[in-house]
Copies of this chain bind each other. A is one copy, B any other.
Amino acid sequence: VKSEFDFIQNIKKTYNLWAIGDDCAVLPKDDATDMVVTADMLVEDIDFQLDWTTPEFLGHKALAVSLSDIAAMGAEPKWAMLSIAVEEKLWKSDFVERFYEGWHELARQFDVELVGGDVSRAPERLVIDSIVGGEVQKGRAIRRSGAKPGDAIFVSGSLGGAAGGLALLEKRIRYSDSLPDPERELLIRQLCPTPQLELAREIQQKQVATSMIDISDGLSSDLHHLCEASGVGAKIDASHLPVDKNLKKLLDLNSALELALNGGEDFELLFAAPRESTSILENLPVKRIGEITPNVGVVEFMLDGKRQILERKGYRHF
């Protein structure tokens, strides 16, 4: 079966679509500014389950995934559109109002204006398409394609928490305010993720990142994406990975590491920067996890002093 990545590569080549292949498309806006724009589709029973979440969390997440793409370009979000297809039963409930409430609370936080979209009826499952437009100083969008051999690789925050939350949901654990940590925090990582816009702004200001991507499919997949776009390889060290602290409380180290490597939807930032810039980044919540190599398309993984090849095992739609 063709993968979605192969399909997109093929469509790109067939139709000469050079703008495609980053977290956002970059388009000229005016003399000083570029515009960035992204779309993310969320499908019920594929990307979420209605009985696993709340309408407010889902509205928040629909916007968060797109804001994370804007952050990954080092850009600022400005406007958004929201298209939803919703079945009549859900339409008649207060679901859509509560969904918009969750959406708007996050939008307000980052001053994002809802300017349009579409509301359609669906025969049964909910489908959401989240579109966000943003701005970045001309020529300063941080693409996936600029990493150079020798660059250090950094990742923000912690990894594996969202996948840990998903695992809890699959074990029939549901979110409630009174749920004890670490379970509650893991579910929040999965259901109500935080886009790293503030951190992205600081990274942008320091002007050191040569390439950046957000972790949506999983570290192993997204590092491969970054390497392929940059025509490089990477080597990362297990002992440096910022494995989610709640995961470590619930799982043995190997299982936690597996989720940190291959679990998706952490929406952390993964970026490369010249080694010399490590000190400049010292005060930011980022961790150096490895370095870029000239070994095109190969991601090496050091575990207990042994070298392995890291396959991309993150989320694939097909």
Q: Which residues of A contact B (CB under 8 A)?
A: 1-2, 4, 7-8, 11, 14-15, 17, 19-20, 24-25, 27, 29-31, 35, 37-47, 79, 81, 83-85, 88, 91-92, 96-97, 100, 104, 113-123, 125, 127, 129, 131, 133, 317-318
Output the least CB separation between A132 and chain B (Å): 11
**Closest Cβ neighbor of A119 among chain B residues:** B4
Q: Which of A79, A92, A113, A120 has the most CB of B within 10 A?
A: A120
In the complex, A45 Cα to B88 Cα: how many Å?
14
What is the total number of copies of this protein in its complex? 2
CA distance A40 to B47 in the complex (A): 21
Give Cα A133 to B123, complex, Å.
29
Q: How many angstroms between the C-alpha atoms of A29 and B96 in the bound complex?
A: 31
Q: How far is the CB of A62 from chain B (nearest CB, A)?
A: 12
Residue of B nearest to A88 (CB): B318
Q: Are A83 and B41 in contact (CB under 8 A)?
A: yes
Quote the shortest CB–CB distance from A78 to chain B (angstroms): 8
Contact A118 B84 (CB under 8 A): no
Q: Are B116 and A19 in contact (CB under 8 A)?
A: yes
Bound form: Cα–Cα A35–B35 in Å: 11
A43-B85, A43-B123 known; 7 other A-B pairs, CB under 8 Å? Answer: A7-B96, A27-B79, A39-B131, A41-B129, A42-B120, A43-B120, A47-B120
Contacting pair B83 A39 (CB below 8 A): yes
Asked if B122 contacts A20 (CB within 8 A), the reply is no
Question: Is B131 in contact with A81, judged by CB distance below 8 angstroms?
Answer: yes
* Cβ contacts under 8 Å, A115 to chain B: 17, 19-20, 25, 27, 37
Determine if B121 and A127 form an interchain contact, defined as CB atoms under 8 angstroms apart.
no
